[in-house]
Amino acid sequence: MVIHLIFLLTQTLILIVLSIPSLINTSQLDYDTLVFKQCDLTDTNILQKTTKYRNYLNQSLLIRAQAVSSFLRKLESESSRSKFYKTLVGNEEHAVSGWFQCREDYPSEICHRCVGDLREISSRLCGNATSARVHLRGCHLKYEIELVGTPSAQANNHHNYKLFETPEHGLIHKICEGATAEIFAGFEEMRTEALTAAETGVVDGHGFYEDSYKLLHVVAQCDGHVKACDCGECISAAAAAAAEECRWSIAGQIYLEGCYVGYTYYPHEIPDESYHEEGTKANTGKSLAIVVGVVAALVFVGIIFMFLKSLRRKGDDC
């Protein structure tokens, strides 16, 4: 009986220890924070020009909303198997083409949750938009709607090929935050070197790069349909945009058509943790690790106590 209990306690301890890394990593991920959204709401004018009767407008909007809903459900389903997926979903009047992408270093389960949140958020924020782009911290999506009955749609077999062409790397969104870095000697040179390393890193890393360079932590990623050489060019353009748009910001995020770059400057030293930009989440991970460690220690003490107790009983029997 005692031996069996000790065996069960040992198994419990092993499971706790093995689960610590995944618990900590998951707790650190701020994947569902909205970074930005872009919704093209020019749909009403388009539909009014293409419908013969004005009272048909509401029905067309409903049909299109169903197509978008099917598209978003398809993305959420595929996110359990992939971190990038592009597709075309259509009905008798509307076709929806687009993709989702998750941050490459986030676990698959987090990717699936993130895309699930994207589905809800994009539906709520962009409604009946003809095109939408929604970025969360851990994933993003983009889609466009095309009227199937139009000549251009029929010529392209109802597929919006422009959505998947090599982008022009235009600036979509920027975030420049933190105190001025002008007082830190060599900051600009350090950032230039770090982002240059990212330009090479995304090519070697098949579209994703995360690393620390001196006092900078850098993350870069290209959209999944962007080719390797174009990916490097996009990150180079993002680095140039960071130098111009966020010149003295100690933290910045640059989103271009096709890629994004984020950097964080630590004047003293880079924290020895993953996912540096989510500082509060990292602290939560530390706290969780402490709690799990205490529980594991208590289980271990319990095992020792039961073992000693069993030895004492055997001594009493003699």
pLDDT in tens, 48-66: 444 454 555 677 778 888 8
Distance CA 218, CA 196 (A): 11
Q: Between 241 and 274, where is the model more confident?
A: 241
Q: Is the pLDDT of residue 40 over 70?
A: yes
pLDDT at 163: 55
Reported residue count of the chain is 318
pLDDT tops 90 at residue 37: yes
Q: Cα angle at 98 between 92 and 102, to 5 degrees?
A: 145
pLDDT of residue 182: 74
Cβ contact 130:46 at 8 Å: yes
Phi, psi at 183, each rounded to 5°: -80, -10
Mean pLDDT of the chain: 77
- Mean pLDDT is lowest, of 89-98, 187-196, 218-227, 301-310, for 301-310
pLDDT tens digits, residue range 150-189?
Answer: 444 444 444 454 555 556 789 999 999 877 777 788 899 9
CA distance 214 to 211: 10
Q: Is the pLDDT of residue 14 over 70?
A: no
State the Cα–Cα distance between residues 164 and 98, nearest whole angstrom.
8
The mean per-residue pLDDT over the stretch 204-213 comes to: 95
Q: Where are the alpha helices (DSSP H) in the chain?
A: 2-28, 43-50, 57-78, 108-126, 151-155, 187-204, 228-245, 279-317
Please, what are the domains in the chain?
Answer: 29-165 (3.30.430.20), 172-265 (3.30.430.20)
pLDDT (0 to 100) of residue 218: 97
Answer for the pair 31, 114: CB distance below 8 angstroms, yes or no.
yes
Specify whether the CB–CB gap between 127 and 101 falls below 8 A. no
Which among 5-9, 255-259, 310-314 has the top mean pLDDT?
A: 255-259
Residue 305 pLDDT class (50, 70, 90 cuts) = low
Query: pLDDT tens digits, residue range 227-246?
Result: 988 999 999 999 999 999 99
Mean pLDDT across 212-221: 95
Q: Which of 99, 227, 233, 98 is nearest to 169 (CA)?
A: 233
Mean pLDDT of 261-285: 63
- Highest mean predicted confidence (pLDDT) among 105-109, 145-149, 295-299: 105-109
pTM given for the model: 0.71
For the beta sheet containing 84-90, the strands, ordered from the edge strand earlier in sequence to the opposite edge, are 34-40, 131-136, 139-147, 94-102, 84-90
Question: Is the predicted pLDDT of residue 80 greater than 80, yes or no?
Answer: yes
Q: How many CB atoms lie within 10 A of CB 316?
A: 7
Alpha carbons 196 and 187: distance in angstroms, whole number: 14
